[in-house]
């Protein structure tokens, strides 16, 4: 049997996405009602981190505990990877110990190398290009909040980064109409747009955030400077002017909920009052990382 990985969200077919979201809802209810759901008893997840994390680290570790399993934190500088041990050797070694590996790395090619050499499932916990686990939680949150995906529209405002790219593909998989607004030069990759097209997605791109959010159901943003881009911060602050999700922008989307994958930089991509407002569903999104990833892991490992 071939080993399944989640390197990006379109590694899942629409029906598989549906199965995982249903399972996530089931786990969420089970946890809320204190019901036993130890489906991964005795199983271990290795977690490689080349970049910092709050949500990804804690939700995966806690999720494994709740499923009756265990997670091992492997900071890149704490394992031999940080001293130059090749990724392919790391992948083959870890495969002999653990049942699955979640990895947060810089270059997307690196998660592909891990998958190529691993005999256990590899889960992308964020690369420079993609963040599929975030998308799973985003879709779970939108489905809960909007009562399904039928007729739902969403707008992305800001950088065409890893979170935006996986969300664009995920929206296509789920059947959400999406408008992505970015400053010129910060668009999502052409290759991602082609994948959205292949999935029959309804994606519009623009450089006008007002046009993007007009009458939409969901407005989603993320930081202007992602991890690893710190040197570009000053230039980005200038180039993203006008792309802040704030009251002025949200006036054009009177019924919209506001999403952010977190961590947020208040006063940059989002204003403090919007993130603290009733419109904000950012902490439901953060919570749903836990439920969605438990569902993903148990689906990958069954
Ligand atoms: N959204 C997200 O992945 O957060 P962390 O960087 O805290 O894991
Ligand atoms: N785009 C952000 C997401 C963090 C979860 C980053 O890569 O830093």
Does one domain contain both 127 and 139?
Answer: no
> Do both 97 and 165 map to the same domain?
no
Does pLDDT of 1 surpass 90? no
Atom of ligand 1 nearest to the CA of 286: 1
Whether ligand 1 lies within 6 angstroms of the CB of 126 is answered as: yes
**72, 98 Cβ separation under 8 angstroms:** yes
285 lines ligand 2 (CB under 6 A): no
Tens of pLDDT, residue by residue over 4-52, are 999 999 999 999 999 999 999 999 999 999 999 999 999 999 999 999 9
Same domain, 198 and 246: yes
pLDDT value, residue 14: 97
How high does pLDDT run on average in the chain?
98
Whether 240 and 158 share a structural domain:
yes
pLDDT for 38: 97
- 75, 110, 240 from 78: Cα distances, Å: 5, 18, 36
DSSP 2: P
For a substitution probing ligand 1, which of 261, 284, 286 has the most ligand atoms within 8 Å of its CB? 261
pLDDT above 80: residue 278 = yes
Measured between alpha carbons, how far is residue 172 from residues 66, 110, 131, 153, 239 in Å?
Answer: 31, 25, 15, 11, 28
Q: Residue 198's domain spans which residues?
A: 134-283
Q: Is 261 in the pocket of ligand 2 (CB under 6 A)?
A: yes
Å from CA of 132 to ligand 1 middle? 12
Q: Please tell me the number of the ligand nearest to residue 221's CA.
A: 2
Q: How confident is the model at residue 2 (pLDDT cuts 50, 70, 90)?
A: confident
With tokens 């130059």, the residue in question is 84
Mean pLDDT score, 40-66: 98
Q: Is residue 213 part of a domain?
A: yes
55 C-alpha to ligand 1 centroid (Å): 5
The mean pLDDT of 217-233, rounded to a whole number, is 98
Q: What's the predicted TM-score (pTM) here?
A: 0.98
- The backbone region for 200, taken as left when phi is positive above 0, alpha when psi lies in -120 to 50, beta otherwise, is left
- CA dist 26 and 178 (Å) reads 27
Domain count, the chain: 2
256 and 295 housed in the same domain: no
Q: Are residues 105 and 170 in the same domain?
A: no
168 lines ligand 1 (CB under 6 A): no
Residue 125 CA: nearest ligand 1 atom is 3
State whether 208 and 118 are in the same domain. Answer: no
Is the same domain home to 253 and 223?
yes
Residue 2 CB contacts under 8 Å (≥ 6 apart), including other chains: none
Same domain for 165 and 278?
Answer: yes
149-190 tens-digit pLDDT: 999 999 999 999 999 999 999 999 999 999 999 999 999 999
**4 falls within a domain:** no
**Confidence (pLDDT) at 212:** 98
- Asked if residue 164 belongs to a domain, the reply is yes
What gap in Å lies between CA 15 and CA 2, rounded to an integer?
Answer: 19
CB 146 within 8 A of CB 138: no
**How remote is the CA of residue 17 from the centroid of ligand 1, in Å?**
21
pLDDT tens, position by position, 114-160: 999 999 999 999 999 999 999 999 999 999 999 999 999 999 999 99
Q: How far apart are CA 274 and CA 277, in angstroms?
A: 5
Distance 228 CA to ligand 1 centre (A): 14
CATH of the domain at 76: 3.40.50.1370
């Amino acid at each position: 049997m071939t080993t399944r990985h989640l390197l990006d969200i379109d590694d899942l077919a629409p029906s598989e996405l549906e199965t995982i979201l249903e399972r996530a809802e089931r786990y969420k209810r089970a946890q809320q009602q204190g019901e036993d759901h130890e489906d991964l008893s005795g199983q271990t997840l290795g977690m490689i981190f080349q970049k910092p994390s709050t949500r990804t680290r804690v939700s995966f570790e806690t999720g494994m505990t709740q499923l009756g399993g265990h997670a091992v934190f492997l900071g890149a500088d704490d394992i031999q990877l940080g001293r130059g041990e090749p990724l392919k050797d790391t992948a083959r070694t870890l495969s002999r110990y653990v049942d699955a590996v979640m990895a947060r790395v810089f270059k997307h090619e690196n998660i592909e190398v891990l998958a190529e050499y691993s005999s256990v499932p590899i889960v992308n916990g964020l690369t420079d290009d993609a963040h599929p686990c975030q998308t799973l939680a985003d879709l779970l949150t939108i489905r809960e909040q909007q009562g399904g995906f039928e007729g739902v529209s969403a707008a992305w405002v800001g950088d065409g980064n890893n979170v935006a790219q996986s969300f664009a593909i995920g929206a296509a998989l789920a059947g959400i109409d999406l408008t992505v607004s970015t400053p010129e030069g910060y668009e999502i990759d052409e290759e991602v747009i082609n994948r959205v097209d292949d999935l029959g997605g309804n994606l519009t791109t623009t450089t006008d955030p007002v046009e993007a959010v007009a009458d939409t159901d969901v407005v989603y943003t993320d930081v202007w400077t992602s991890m690893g881009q710190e040197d570009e911060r000053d230039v980005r602050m200038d180039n993203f002017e006008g792309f802040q999700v704030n009251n002025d922008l949200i006036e054009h989307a009177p019924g919209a909920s506001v999403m952010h994958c977190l961590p947020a930089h208040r006063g940059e991509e989002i204003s403090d009052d919007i993130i603290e407002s009733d419109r904000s569903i950012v902490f439901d999104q953060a919570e749903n990382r836990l439920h969605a990833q438990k569902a993903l892991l148990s689906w990958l490992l069954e």
